[in-house]
Amino acid sequence: MESQRLQKIIAEAGIASRREAERLIEAGRVKVNGEVAYIGMKANLDWDLIEVDGKSIEGREDLVYIMLNKPRGYVTTMKDERGRKTVAELVADCGARVYPVGRLDMNSEGLLIMTNDGQAANRMAHPSGNVLKTYHVKVEGEGIDEKIPLLECPMTVDGVRYAGAKVKVLEHSEGRAKLAMTISEGKNHEIRNMCAAVELEVLRLKRVTEGKLELGGLKYGQWRYLTSQEITYVKSLGAKSEK
């Protein structure tokens, strides 16, 4: 299937006429892969998750929730026009077309939740949920001990305000350390930008927990289905964010 204009896809799905679909798009009620759509945007149902008012355009009966241990070198998208490796390749055998909840940049690794439940994904990723995320961060630089309190304080980097992180030292050697950094905002490149602001170079960044979800011993590049308890937890986060 070739990419088509969103209003055509919405109309053919029987959700609204093309004219009404345009109004839905203009009102910000349509999302493609979690991003607010715009007039003229095209999508492909073979690759893209299209939602209207938080509901998938496709009526999927079987909802799938999985956890992937994303390796470095993969982009958190379903396809990449530049030909880079994507997380979609790693979960192709999960039995459903699932999409990432939030993002990890190409050079980051670790816990990534993927699902075809668009409502749960959007609500889980919403900032109002205040989901704490912990990363193991290997850093290099001078005066690491003196810089940790700076990482725990609010800061502004290139006009972006960060609330600060809770930091615990896991390992320490001359000029290097492994830190556990916990944040709730999850802004783009947040930890990397904060470390750069205090002149610490990030050598490795791995997400190990997201709320009560833990990566545990899941191997690099491998995935598993969430347990029933974990799915209940994910859905409870969504319910909280709607209040």
What gap in Å lies between CA 33 and CA 101, rounded to an integer?
9
Residue 241 pLDDT level (bands cut at 50, 70, 90): very low
Q: Residue 242 has what pLDDT?
A: 44
Q: Residue 239 has what pLDDT?
A: 53
Reading the block at residue 105, the tokens are: 């940049």
What gap in Å lies between CA 122 and CA 111, rounded to an integer?
17
Asked if the model's pLDDT at residue 60 lies above 70, the reply is no
Predicted confidence (pLDDT) per residue in 99-119, tens digit: 898 889 999 999 999 988 777
Residue with tokens 């994507």: 86
Q: Residue 28 has what pLDDT?
A: 94
pTM: 0.75
Q: Between 236 and 170, whose confidence is greater?
A: 170
Q: Which residues are catalytic?
A: 105
Residue 2 pLDDT level (bands cut at 50, 70, 90): confident
Mean pLDDT of the chain: 89
Q: Residue 80 has what pLDDT?
A: 85
To the question of domain 65-128+213-241 being in CATH 3.30.70.2740, the answer is no
What gap in Å lies between CA 169 and CA 145, rounded to an integer?
9
Reading the block at residue 162, the tokens are: 């960060």
Residue ranges of the domains in the chain?
Answer: 4-56, 65-128+213-241, 132-210
What gap in Å lies between CA 200 and CA 142, rounded to an integer?
8
Reading the block at residue 143, the tokens are: 């005066």
Buried b (16+ CB within 10 A) or exposed e, 120-129: bbbbbbeeeb
3-state secondary structure of 233: helix
The residue-averaged pLDDT of 12-21 equals 81
The residue-averaged pLDDT of 45-66 equals 78
Q: What is the CATH number of domain 132-210?
A: 3.30.70.1560
Q: Residue 194 has what pLDDT?
A: 97
Residues 6+ apart with CB under 8 A from 177: 138, 139, 144, 169, 170, 171
Q: Residue 57 has what pLDDT?
A: 81
The listed CATH number (3.10.290.10, 3.30.70.1090, 3.40.50.10320, 3.40.50.450) that belongs to domain 4-56:
3.10.290.10
Q: Between 101 and 243, whose confidence is greater?
A: 101
* Triad 114, 103, 94: Cα angle to 5°: 20
Q: Residue 240 has what pLDDT?
A: 47
Q: Between 111 and 53, whose confidence is greater?
A: 111
Residues 6+ apart with CB under 8 A from 157: 193, 194, 196, 197
The yes-or-no answer to whether 65-128+213-241 and 132-210 have a common fold is yes
What gap in Å lies between CA 219 and CA 214, rounded to an integer?
13
